[in-house]
Structure 1
Amino acid sequence: MSNNTISDIVTNKLQELIIVGFRVQCPGDQYAEKIPKAAKEVTERLHEINHLVQPIKQIGAFKAAESTDDEDGYWVGFEVTKLEDVPTDMTSLTIPEQTYAILPYTGQASGIFGAYAQIHQWNVKNGQERLTNYWSLEIYNDWENPQEVDVLLCDPVKVSDKI
């Protein structure tokens, strides 16, 4: 169970981000099995990725809304400073600068869905519009044990002009 609460949520703008790794596409009920496998493989092949920013921070990216075929799926990889010599069977994704509601989450991977529900409730309470057609990010400090992940959940938002 996570010790993080809704009061831990902050809004922050993140700069453009380029990730190199694997794209996972499968029926919805298979993501829980396939994403950890892709995360393990990209970690094992980290030495093949050029221009790494922080090889200890694995990043997941997805769009919550229905998207085009080019944007469908879940990307898992590592941030790079520039694209150069991407390994043949890997892919890259550029995430534009965006404002996010961010919740640090530590706990079982299965609890992440509940943590996102907390973020969504917080968005409503704070007058922020959730942007489901923008990239959501999961920035992992520790991902190897699904019983105890350490991740920043970044849900894209449009900040309200309310005072």
Structure 2
Amino acid sequence: MKIITLKDKKLVGFRVVCETLEGYQQEIPLALERLTQQIKDINHVVSSNIIYGIFKVEALPEEDGYWKCIEVESFENIPVGMDHIVMKQGRYAALDYDGTPQRIQLAYESLHQWTRNNNLERNLNEWTIERYEKIENSRIECTIYDPIK
């Protein structure tokens, strides 16, 4: 676990809003599938191999939900139905995760405990970021970035 500063990012992708955790577990893979099918239609992609999942713990209604995104250099000709989000530079507590999608919550719990133990304060109204390098049904490799003040 470490502290890192991330630079501004421009992200394009699909938003998922559900009432229950089970709903998110069903809908997020569908959003990922839609995104991977449409990557070829997105202009100025930074890397088609890196997928982002983002959310805010304390979100305004227009920011509520979870997004599956890809980073772009500019927001030119965004495909219909996709959202665009600008993430401002910020400080994050970061943790690499390699495991099953079902157990990622344990990684979050470890990261939050580490944050408390190091007298850091989470920034709940900024974007939490999951940067995926590998996504399979039974295994994911990602870095979790939890915003801190």
Above 0.5 in TM-score? yes
Aligned to 1:19: 11
Aligned to 2:142: 151
C-alpha distance in structure 2 between counterparts of 1:82 and 1:141, whole Å: 22
Pick aligned residue for 1:61 from 54, 59, 78: 54
CA deviation digits over 1:60-82, x for unaligned, max 9? 110012x2121111111100011
Aligned to 2:37: 44
Q: Kindly state the Cα deviation for residue 28 of structure 1 after the two structures are TM-superposed.
A: 2.6
Q: Give structure 1 regions of 4+ aligned residues with deviation exceeding 6 angstroms.
A: none
Aligned to 1:35: 28
Give the TM-score of the pair, scaled to structure 2.
Answer: 0.96
Unaligned runs of 5+ in 1: 1-8, 159-163
Residues 1-163 of structure 1 aligned to structure 2 (within 5 Å): 9-29=1-21, 30-65=23-58, 67-143=59-135, 145-158=136-149
C-alpha distance in structure 1 between counterparts of 2:124 and 2:111, whole Å: 13
Equivalent residue pairs, number: 148
C-alpha distance in structure 1 between counterparts of 2:16 and 2:57, whole Å: 14
Report the 3-state secondary structure (helix = DSSP H, G, I; strand = E; otherwise coil) of the residue aligned with 2:148: strand
Report the 3-state secondary structure (helix = DSSP H, G, I; strand = E; otherwise coil) of the residue aligned with 1:138: strand
CA deviation digits over 1:99-152, x for unaligned, max 9? 111100000001111100000000011111011111000000011x13110000
Unaligned runs of 5+ in 2: none
Give the TM-score of the pair, scaled to structure 1.
Answer: 0.88
CA deviation digits over 1:27-75, x for unaligned, max 9? 132111101110111001110110000110000110012x212111111
Residue type of the alignment partner of 1:88: V
Q: Kindly state the Cα deviation for residue 91 of structure 1 after the two structures are TM-superposed.
A: 1.0
Aligned to 1:5: none
